[in-house]
Structure 1
């Protein structure tokens, strides 16, 4: 259950961070206005809290592992929301990042 909870939290963090950054981008770069930017800032703020619920107490480990989730999640967001078509190297890189997440967060550790 702890791994499932951790994965869910990583997913929520990615949604908040990537979605928040996308909203800011849309508000500023695509001239959609301050409400989009404000919504993005709120989502980015929420992202900052999500990591605090991770079962692992080590900030550095959680944030390092989240980096891999962010990479893969960004490609997924780009595909679903922006119609981006990743090439095989994008996908290989994302898979390597997710393997790194698994090693960093879920490898057995001695007591």
Structure 2
């Protein structure tokens, strides 16, 4: 379970970085050289997806919950935005939903 969680976090960070760097280039007049690590990060993201336990909607839905939490962490750590109570509540709901989906009740 710990390895899967760490894999979800690494996948989310690779996706966020791969999208953030082109945003810096397009919106913040960053260097076009940012597109090289962005492409590498998105390639890493795609590769990391192949390491997940299964390529199923359930796995991707569970990953989505981790992505939400990582995106909020990015908002706080990189963008310098303080998290609002609604951010914490939404993250908790996303993780709770992820837990229900990942449990695979039948």
| Cα offsets for 1:39-70 (capped at 9, x unmatched) | 11221121112122122x24211111111111
- Tell me, yes or no, if the aligned pair for 1:26 and 1:37 is still in contact at 8 Å: no
Determine whether 1:61 maps to 2:58.
Answer: yes
| Aligned residue in 2 for 1:26 | 24
The farther-off stretch of 29-38 and 4-13 is 29-38
CA RMSD in angstroms comes to 1.6
| Cα offsets for 1:15-58 (capped at 9, x unmatched) | 10111111111122111121112211221121112122122x24
- Tell me, yes or no, if the aligned pair for 2:14 and 2:42 is still in contact at 8 Å: yes
The farther-off stretch of 70-79 and 30-39 is 30-39
Runs of 4+ in 1 over 3 A off after TM superposition: none
The residue matched to 1:82 in structure 2 has which SS? Answer: coil
Structure 1 unaligned spans of 5+:
none
| Cα offsets for 1:59-98 (capped at 9, x unmatched) | 2111111111111111101100110112101110011101
What is the aligned residue count?
106
Q: Give the 5 Å matches for 1:32-111.
A: 32-55=30-53, 57-105=54-102, 107=103
Structure 2 unaligned spans of 5+:
none
- Tell me, yes or no, if the aligned pair for 1:23 and 1:36 is still in contact at 8 Å: yes
Alignment partners' CA distance in 1, 2:55 and 2:22: 29
